[in-house]
Structure 1
């Protein structure tokens, strides 16, 4: 379902809480540039996929693509931040409903003031449902690296980059740049309370090429045309012949997620459903999918953004699961708590993430002493 209308200023105020100019695309870009200038970014990630160093090293590898450009370039990161900053997102649920899928999702283009209904459950406006109050959650993607103190903004950028560094690399953070790295095949959590998808057994794909930001696609799918991560009973239906395996910095997976993210980015779920390969061909788009994942709550999970900048208050349920300290460890639980929960840094996955985080914050001059970095003692949300 897709429905679009242009809103008046008064409607934007009443329905969306207005448009805050401090979270404009220009201000969002400036915040990232202030927290991490280009020279420092490139020093952190010298062998990004598509750079001259990458081409030299990867030229003899079976996955090598001669025309590969610098996918994780600083300009792509900045452009992605600008792109998402023009979007607000709203998730609405019927309060107390017995249906966990009783929701709808909207997108607001802050420049054109165009509101688009991305998804609505079939029963959301059923006659028996109309008297049930609506609970709304609104996210302004322009708040990425724009909330909290200057130190917290740097911490957020470091937390974001360190997590995607792990997702796109392997053992580099532990100092073993030439050692065996790991790429994990993982389902990105669905932002809506969609029907459960087929479960995935965690598995790994070994690689000698373990530099951060080295990969932008799941390794088993780079050199073949296998089709996977397809759910024919999803709200966003797959296109025949298309594979929805992990792509981009956060490994966006499954057609439900491709459709949802496509709706948020383009206002049209079909764009990425029909052309999922766009994500690996466009670094800006890849970064946009990662920022959307980072910024959006996944009830009962908060967003990683809210956790790291201090907007999150743990519930009684969270506290009972050891989710009490708003630090880096909780962002790991949001991203992959089912596998990496209750682990200290001797676990290679948690250890890699934390090592990246320590390295980036150190280079940024951010003191993280006392912050809970691992997930020991934490259970999934």
Structure 2
């Protein structure tokens, strides 16, 4: 039988290894996005006009990334910066409080909302028996990526350790979990869609169906993954242009090029 002192030593090493992993990840993100840079990106996130003021803290963002060690840490420094810029751009569009003549411009108002305003339904797909809806619960958009539908809340909760079907409200009440749901969606492949992460790090390999649908790699494909059914295949769509505007601003702040294929107007949505 192992001696108690040896067991304690093993437990200590295990704890130290986990702590070191989280610290290393936090260091990676903080090197790419410092608190001052984060604050300059989201100038008005804590404006009293924003329903989410005080919710999307830098500390919560950094802590949430600890669950996803590959986010912003794969490939060249250019690739890493571009992925972070793309992610922040997409969550900014989903939560924007900006308008064309807004102070500091429309792309300075990301992370203004934490919950969908006036949802048109309870976002329950009753045909999805794997992730059944619960009575008196709604699965409308919440958090930075505006997580929606029972078939997203269920698996997100399972992956992150909360009950997404019975307690979807936590996504709008816990800022770390809110950021984690956005990162979960970003990092997770949902066939036939690739993950946004794989697209932005250049790991995406189009299938024959993708090639036929002109789903080329680039920021525009992440828009297709997130909301292509409503926004892609449309020339000059304002929502797509808003996403691009955020991306261009953040890429500039991160001192990285945007890469090609920014829009999805010539792409067909995923089935």
TM-score by length of 2: 0.84
Give secondary structure in 2 for the equivalent of 1:307: helix
Distance in 2 of aligned mates of 1:157 and 1:32: 9
Matches within 5 A, 1:50-69: 51=46, 54-55=47-48, 57=49
Shift of 1:33: 1.0
Matches within 5 A, 1:123-142: 142=69
Give secondary structure in 1 for the equivalent of 2:168: coil
Shift of 1:71: 1.4
Shift of 1:24: 3.5
Preserved CA contact (<8 Å) 1:333 1:380: yes
Q: Which runs of 5+ in 2 are unaligned?
A: 1-17
Matches within 5 A, 1:1-381: 24-48=21-45, 51=46, 54-55=47-48, 57=49, 70-82=54-66, 84-85=67-68, 142-169=69-96, 171-172=98-99, 175-177=100-102, 211-220=109-118, 228-233=122-127, 234-266=129-161, 271-324=163-216, 326-344=217-235, 346-368=236-258, 371-381=260-270
Preserved CA contact (<8 Å) 1:171 1:352: no
RMSD: 2.4
Preserved CA contact (<8 Å) 1:170 1:352: no
Distance in 1 of aligned mates of 2:232 and 2:156: 26
- What's the CA shift string for 1:145-184, capped at 9, x where partnerless? 1111011100000000001100001554xx5316xx9xxx
Indicate the residue corresponding to 1:189 in structure 2.
none
Q: Which runs of 5+ in 1 are unaligned?
A: 1-20, 59-63, 86-141, 182-209
Distance in 1 of aligned mates of 2:247 and 2:53: 26
TM-score by length of 1: 0.61
Shift of 1:298: 1.2
Distance in 1 of aligned mates of 2:139 and 2:61: 23
Preserved CA contact (<8 Å) 1:28 1:145: no
Shift of 1:37: 0.8
Preserved CA contact (<8 Å) 2:244 2:262: yes
Preserved CA contact (<8 Å) 1:343 1:374: no
Shift of 1:30: 1.8
Give secondary structure in 2 for the equivalent of 1:355: helix
Give secondary structure in 1 for the equivalent of 2:225: helix
Indicate the residue corresponding to 1:129 in structure 2.
none
Distance in 2 of aligned mates of 1:254 and 1:338: 15
Distance in 1 of aligned mates of 2:267 and 2:139: 31
Shift of 1:371: 1.4
**Greater fraction of residues in strand:** 1
Distance in 1 of aligned mates of 2:73 and 2:27: 9
Shift of 1:275: 1.8
Preserved CA contact (<8 Å) 1:329 1:373: yes
Distance in 2 of aligned mates of 1:166 and 1:157: 14
Q: Kindly tell me: are residues 273 and 363 of structure 1, through their superposed partners in 2, closer, same or farther at Cα, counting changes over 3 Å? A: same
Give secondary structure in 2 for the equivalent of 1:143: coil
